[in-house]
């Protein structure tokens, strides 16, 4: 058995989980604590500044509303004096702006007195006066690189805005404090994690030791040694588990001797069987099922053990266990769905003692889906061929009897009778030829005479032939590339494919309709499509039109002379070329038949 890696040890996992839990808890607490502390410090700083600004706004408003005489100092001088008294270590500068002229009436910065009397361009000042509320933002001072808090407060007298106070405060001290606090918190977290790791190691040992003992015992049991006992360290859950483990060891030792012989017998029988086998006890409950039976019934071995066999096989509505014991013939189990057939045959054999006492039942399952499918296809094929031949033969017989009875003397009726007889004969000949063609393609030695062909030219030539010979009032539309596309095909067979598809499109195209021909290359294949504007195909019939003898509108198809094998032949020939064929349709709008052929770009380059 493999040794457990260091990081896979349960001891290490306990310690890591314990430490991670503490770390996550500390991080959550730290993030919340730091976030709240930062918000509180910043709010306190801004509140203290705002209170002082409100007091300054009151003083400035008094100066601005004060009536002045020529002997009194100017408004700028009074505001300058007021701002001179408004000094603090955490405030860089305070400005007062007139609301009407937007001129700076004063600044607390002694080195920046030259801006007094100039118009301000600060956006925050304009916003605060227009919106009549405080506007603030934290910025980085371009000179010092420290954070500053910019505040603009409107000066209001009633509903009138007289001006604004613009303040720049040093808020970097708040973030400096937060940095110091974060460092202290990180140090505390590291110390807490160290202590937690030590405690985690001690705690993990108390849990991991008995588990390690049980692991050694399990490894010994895997080697067939049932003599070891697990040491019980306490009466807790792990101690109870150890006691139960010891009891289990004893029971397993007793059961092993009893089952080993039977296991070998069953194993030797079932290991060489390809059919599904199910065994029951005397009450009909499943006690054994081999892998083929599990796959055939698509069930889980654990879920069906101890279940009644008639329920497992889906026979509870029609048969009882007693019926199966008396069953002499095999039963057919049909699990087919609408999309896929699936049929099994079940043969039953009773297990009983010499006294006649029944010990159980054995069911052997065989998958006969393919056999039933082949038989059904054979029966359907024979029925279709018989029906297709019976119709023209019946017609010919009636017309020939009429001619024999004297209709040949009638110069008007006799030619019509002979023409119908000839048409039915031609129809039977086409049917026989199509059947021979399909028979050849079904044989294993069917070969194609392939050669490299420019498919664009080949396709265009076939369209030309059919366009010249068509009798309906139908227009042809070509959507072909203007370059050569070389594909390796059997020209005769591919000509027959295209003739069958295009003929179908012409048959079902209305007068004045259009048939569209397209050719595209995509990755490693080309896609050839023929579209008509006919009545279309119902959705439920699209997947069946390539089956032999399948017709969507049987009456109209026979009237047009079809055998129901054209698309089936086209499908087989396309498959022989390594391609695929499919149909898309909308009822009342038309149908498109498409097929793909392998296309190698490297070969095309060589031909080019």
The pLDDT of residue 145:
84
Dihedrals phi, psi of 141, to nearest 5 degrees? -70, 120
Neighbours of 234 (CB within 10 A): 11
Which of 143-157, 225-239, 315-329 is least confident? 225-239
Same domain, 355 and 404: no
**Window from 243-247, 265-269, 284-288 with minimum mean pLDDT:** 265-269
Domain membership flag for residue 217 = no
Structural tokens at position 248:
């289990």
Residue 452, strand partner residues: 488
Domain membership flag for residue 395: yes
Judgement on whether residues 291 and 321 belong to the same structural domain of the protein: yes
Residues 6+ apart with CB under 8 A from 51: none
Lowest-confidence range among 77-81, 163-167, 511-515? 77-81
158 within domain boundaries: yes
**482 shares a domain with 404:** no
pLDDT in tens, 270-283: 666 778 888 888 88
Domain-ending residue, one of 366, 388, 423: 366
| Model confidence pLDDT, tens digit, residues 429-486 | 766 666 666 666 665 556 778 889 999 999 999 888 888 877 778 899 999 998 888 9
Same domain, yes or no: 376 and 426:
yes
- Neighbour tally for 476: CB within 10 Å: 15
Tell me the two tokens of residue 459. 């396709």
pTM here is 0.39
In sequence order, what DSSP letters do the residues of 365-409 get, joined into one string?
EEE-HHHHHHHHHHHHHHHHHHHHHHHHHHHHHHHHHHHHTTGGG
Read off the pLDDT of each residue in 12-17 and give the average, rounded to a whole number.
75
Residues 401 and 549 in one domain: no
Q: What is the mean pLDDT of residues 103-131?
A: 84
pLDDT confidence of residue 597: 92
Q: Residue-wise over 364-377: b if at least 16 C-beta within 10 A, else e?
A: bbbbbbeebeeeee
Answer whether residue 380 is part of any domain.
Answer: yes
Domain assignment present for 232: no
Pairwise CA distance, residues 323 & 327, whole Å: 6
User: 129 and 99 in contact (C-beta within 8 Å)?
Assistant: yes
Residues 6+ apart with CB under 8 A from 170: 89, 90, 91, 92, 146, 148, 149
Q: Are residues 22 and 110 in the same domain?
A: yes
Phi, then psi, of 478 in degrees rounded to 5: -110, 130
- Residue pair 436/428 in contact by the 8 Å Cβ criterion: no
Tokens of 589: 């709008």
Is residue 52 situated within a structural domain? yes
Q: Are residues 600 and 521 in the same domain?
A: yes
| 358 and 396 together in one domain | no
What does the pLDDT look like over 28-74, one tens digit per residue?
Answer: 887 888 888 888 888 888 888 888 888 888 888 887 877 777 777 78
189 or 407, which is more confident? 189
Main-chain phi, psi angles of 546, to 5 degrees: -95, 5
pLDDT at 518 > cutoff 90 = yes
Tell me the angle at which helices 369-404 and 413-442 cross, rounded to the nearest 10 degrees. Answer: 160
Letter string b/e over residues 161-183, b meaning 16 or more CB atoms within 10 A of that residue's CB: bbbbbbbbbbbbebeeebeebee
| 285 against 158, higher pLDDT | 285
Predicted confidence (pLDDT) at residue 3 exceeds the cutoff of 60 = no
Phi, psi for residue 234 in degrees, rounded to 5:
-170, -175
437 and 507 co-located in one domain: no
Mean pLDDT of 339-357: 82
Per-residue confidence (pLDDT) for residue 516, from 0 to 100: 93
Residues 373, 376: Cα–Cα separation, whole Å = 5
**What does the pLDDT read at residue 558?**
47
Could you identify the residue written with the tokens 């017309």? 399
Is residue 539's pLDDT more than 50?
yes
CATH classification of the domain holding 416: 1.10.287.130
Domain boundary among 341, 366, 391: 366
Residue 482 maps to which CATH number? 3.30.565.10
Pairing of strands 147-157, 135-140: antiparallel
In which band, very low, low, confident or very high, does the pLDDT at 1 lie, cut at 50, 70 and 90? very low
Specify the DSSP element, H or E, that contains 147.
strand 147-157
Identify whether residues 279 and 322 lie together within a single domain: yes
Asked if residue 288 is part of any domain, the answer here is yes
Percent of the chain at pLDDT > 70 equals: 84
Q: Which residue has the tokens 């309709």?
A: 513
Q: Which residue has the higher pLDDT, 294 or 266?
A: 294
293 vs 426: CA distance, rounded Å:
53
Q: Are 72 and 79 in contact (CB under 8 A)?
A: no
- In this structure, what token pair is assigned to residue 95? 């400005």
> Of 329, 344, 366, which residue constitutes the final position of a domain?
366
Using H for helix, E for strand and C for coil, what is the string for 486-549? EEEECHHHHHHHHHHHHHHHHHCCCCCCEEEEEEEEECCEEEEEEECCCCCCCHHHHHHCCCCC
Q: What is the pLDDT of residues 250-261, one digit of tens each?
A: 787 777 777 777
Q: Exposed, middle or buried by CB within 10 Å (0-12, 13-18, 19+), for 75?
A: middle
Task: Tally helices (H) and strands (E) across the chain.
Answer: 16, 17
425 plus 455 within the same structural domain: no
Do 146 and 60 share a domain, yes or no?
yes
Which one, of 86, 145, 148, 80, lies nearest residue 114 by Cα?
Answer: 80
Q: What are phi and psi of 368, to 5 degrees?
A: -115, 20
Q: How far is CA 166 from CA 45, 103, 152, 287, in A?
A: 17, 12, 5, 91
Total tally of structural domains belonging to the chain = 4
Q: Which residues contact 146 (CB under 8 A, 6 or more apart)?
A: 140, 170, 172
Position 388 scores a pLDDT of 62
Query: Does a structural domain hold residue 2?
Result: no
Query: Structural domain of residue 380, as residue ranges?
Result: 372-442
- For residue 137, the domain's CATH number is 3.30.450.20
Q: CA 59, 60, 62, 66 torsion: positive or negative?
A: positive
Write out the two tokens for 7.
Answer: 């990081």
């Amino acid at each position: 058995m493999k040794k457990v890696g260091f990081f896979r040890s349960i001891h290490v996992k306990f310690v890591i989980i314990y430490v991670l839990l503490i770390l996550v808890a500390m991080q959550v607490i730290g993030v919340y604590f730091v976030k709240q502390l930062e918000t509180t410090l910043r709010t306190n700083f801004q509140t203290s500044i705002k209170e002082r600004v409100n007091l300054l706004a009151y003083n400035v408003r008094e100066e601005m509303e004060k009536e002045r005489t020529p002997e009194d100092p100017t408004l700028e001088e009074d505001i300058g004096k007021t701002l001179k008294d408004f000094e603090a270590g955490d405030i860089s500068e305070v400005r007062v702006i007139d609301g009407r002229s937007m001129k700076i009436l004063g600044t607390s910065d002694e080195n920046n007195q030259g801006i007094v009397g100039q118009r301000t361009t600060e956006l925050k000042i304009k916003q605060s006066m227009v919106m009549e509320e405080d506007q603030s933002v934290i910025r980085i001072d371009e000179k010092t690189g420290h954070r500053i808090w910019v505040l603009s407060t409107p000066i209001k007298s009633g509903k009138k805005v007289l001006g604004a106070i613009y303040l720049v405060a040093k808020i970097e001290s708040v973030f400096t404090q937060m940095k110091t606090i974060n460092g202290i918190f990180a140090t505390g977290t590291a110390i807490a994690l160290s202590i937690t790791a030590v405690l985690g190691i001690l705690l993990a040992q108390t849990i991991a030791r008995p588990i390690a003992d049980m692991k050694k015992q399990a490894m010994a049991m895997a080697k067939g040694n049932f003599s070891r006992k697990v040491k019980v360290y306490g009466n807790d859950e792990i101690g109870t588990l150890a006691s139960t483990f010891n009891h289990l060891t004893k029971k397993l030792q007793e059961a092993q001797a009893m089952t080993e012989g039977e296991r070998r017998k069953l194993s030797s029988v079932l290991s060489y069987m390809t059919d599904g086998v199910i065994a029951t006890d005397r009450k009909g409950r499943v006690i054994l099922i081999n892998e083929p039976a599990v796959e055939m019934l698509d069930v889980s071995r654990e879920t069906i053990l101890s279940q009644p066999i008639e329920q497992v096989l889906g026979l509870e509505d029609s048969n009882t266990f007693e019926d199966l014991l008396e069953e002499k013939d095999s039963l057919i189990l049909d699990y087919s769905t609408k999309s896929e057939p699936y049929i099994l045959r079940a043969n039953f054999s009773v297990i009983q003692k010499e006294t006649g006492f029944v010990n159980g039942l054995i069911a052997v399952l065989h998958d006969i889906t393919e056999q039933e499918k082949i038989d059904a296809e054979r029966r359907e094929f024979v029925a279709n061929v018989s029906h297709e031949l019976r119709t023209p033969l019946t017609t010919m017989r009636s017309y020939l009897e009429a001619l024999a009875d004297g209709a040949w003397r009638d110069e008007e009726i006799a030619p019509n009778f002979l023409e119908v007889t000839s048409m039915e004969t031609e129809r039977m000949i086409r049917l026989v030829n199509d059947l021979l063609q399909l028979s050849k393609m079904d044989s294993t030695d069917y070969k194609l005479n392939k050669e490299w062909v420019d498919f664009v030219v080949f396709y265009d030539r076939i369209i030309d032939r059919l366009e010249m010979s068509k009798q309906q009032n139908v227009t042809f539309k070509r959507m072909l590339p203007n370059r050569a596309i070389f594909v390796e095909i059997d020209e005769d067979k591919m000509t027959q494919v295209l003739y069958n598809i295009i003929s179908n499109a012409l048959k079902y195209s209305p007068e004045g309709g259009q048939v569209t021909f397209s050719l595209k290359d995509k990755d490693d294949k080309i896609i050839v499509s023929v579209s008509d504007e006919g009545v279309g195909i119902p959705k439920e019939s699209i997947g069946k039109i390539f089956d032999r003898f399948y017709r969507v509108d049987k009456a109209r198809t026979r009237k047009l002379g079809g055998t129901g094998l054209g698309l089936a032949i086209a499908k087989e020939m396309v498959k022989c070329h390594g391609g695929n064929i499919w149909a898309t349709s909308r009822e009342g709008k038309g149908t498109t038949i498409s097929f793909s052929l392998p296309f190698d770009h490297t070969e095309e380059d060589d031909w080019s």
